[in-house]
Amino acid sequence: MEIDLIKSKPQLLKENQPALVFVHGAWHGAWCWQEHFIPFFTDHGYECYTFDLPNHGASKDQKGINKYRIADYLNHLELALAQISQPFVLIGHSMGGYIIQKYLEKHDCHAAILMATVPGKPIWRLFFKLFWEQPITMLKLVATLDLFHLVNSTEKASTLLFSDTLAKEPMEVYAKKLGGESFRVMLFDFLLAKIKRRKNLSMPMLVQGAGKDNIIARAESEYTHKFQQTDYQFYEQLSHNVMLEPNWLLSAQGALNWLREQFPIITQQETISTKNPNLKTQFPDAIQDLIINLGENKEMDVNDTKTPRSGKSNRAN
């Protein structure tokens, strides 16, 4: 089975940079990354990939969604990665972060970034919270085994996934793109299952949390950070859908700064030819600056941007 990978190539592919593979969360599709994040990272020299999980996004089939479990989504991710022949970084949002954690139980990659991720422990807190805040909706959900009841209107989607700073027009556009999610995933994976710590603790890994998140609590983001022994960034201004928020650039810029720490862009004025180790090539400063800065975001100086951090991992060396 071949997965329909969506590939985005930068105008100038920077040296020493892995590909980025984006994994969406519940109710969403590849479209959520294509709005802001993929254009942002291709502008900064990264080759990007994304795809729709089964019955999501362009391939959604509401009637068949409940036949899936996280294991099915994990298999879909593995099939997608089999089509990528270069080193890659996995970037997952919400349920996508949970899927990546399952992948890393047995596999490895260049690095991973988890944004507003579902933690690797049961989330009964969220289930009871939703019953308290939306009892009628939750009764309908349980009676019909249909998680779409949580986001089947602009008002519900806005309350659960976005902050009140998002304008009405884009909110309505995003709400129409949301689809169903598997009740079996919520019951057997999120409420009952438990994730093992990742296989390779020396692999660079980042967790991002959001202060206005109505799905994942700060304590749950911090749990994932400590349990998986990762780097950690927390943004008070952001809600659950960090990649679609008006302040989405905070998350994207934080991830970019972190990636540059892990995989620095080659900046040496002298480079040694791989064909002839004795041959050295001099780069004039002006050309070097062009190589480093081409594609930088004009609205924000990366060098002046400070990424807030709430902790630092104790990764094995």
Domains of the chain as residue ranges with CATH: 6-262 (3.40.50.1820)
Better pLDDT: 255 or 316: 255
pLDDT tops 80 at residue 62: no
Binning pLDDT at 50, 70 and 90, where does residue 16 land? confident
Q: Is the pLDDT of residue 71 over 80?
A: yes
The answer on pLDDT for 313 being more than 50 is no
What ranges in 119-243 are assigned the alpha helix state H? 124-133, 135-144, 154-161, 168-177, 183-184, 218-228
* pLDDT 10s digits, 159-183: 999 988 999 999 999 999 999 999 9
CA dist 235 and 296 (Å) reads: 23
pLDDT beyond 60 at 302? no
Q: What is the pLDDT of residue 63?
A: 65
* C-alpha span between 192 and 20 (Å, rounded): 31
pLDDT computed for residue 60 by the predictor: 59
Residue 264 confidence (pLDDT):
86
The average pLDDT across 90-114 equals 97
What's the mean pLDDT in 73-100? Answer: 96
Average pLDDT over residues 139-157: 95
Half-sphere exposure of 164 (CA within 13 A, CB side): 0
The CA-CA-CA angle for residues 33, 208, 30, to 5°, reads 15
Beta carbons of 92 and 114 less than 8 angstroms apart: yes
Of 15, 56, 19, residue with least CA distance to 274: 15
This prediction's pTM: 0.84
Percent of the chain with pLDDT over 90: 75
Question: How far apart are alpha carbons 57 and 172 in whole angstroms?
Answer: 16
CA distances from 76 to 27, 61, 73, 260 (A): 16, 16, 5, 29
Per-residue model confidence (pLDDT) at position 266: 55
Q: What residue type is 88 in one-letter code?
A: F
Q: What is the mean pLDDT of the chain?
A: 85
Task: Note the pLDDT tens digit of each residue in 128-144.
Answer: 999 999 999 999 999 99
What confidence tier does 51 reach under pLDDT thresholds 50, 70, 90? very high
For 242-288, the pLDDT digits (tens) are 999 999 999 999 999 999 999 987 544 333 333 433 333 333 333 33
Of 31, 20, 90, 84, nearest to 56 by C-alpha is 31
pLDDT (tens digit per residue) in 23-48: 999 999 999 999 999 999 999 999 99
Comparison of pLDDT for 306 and 33, the residue scoring more: 33
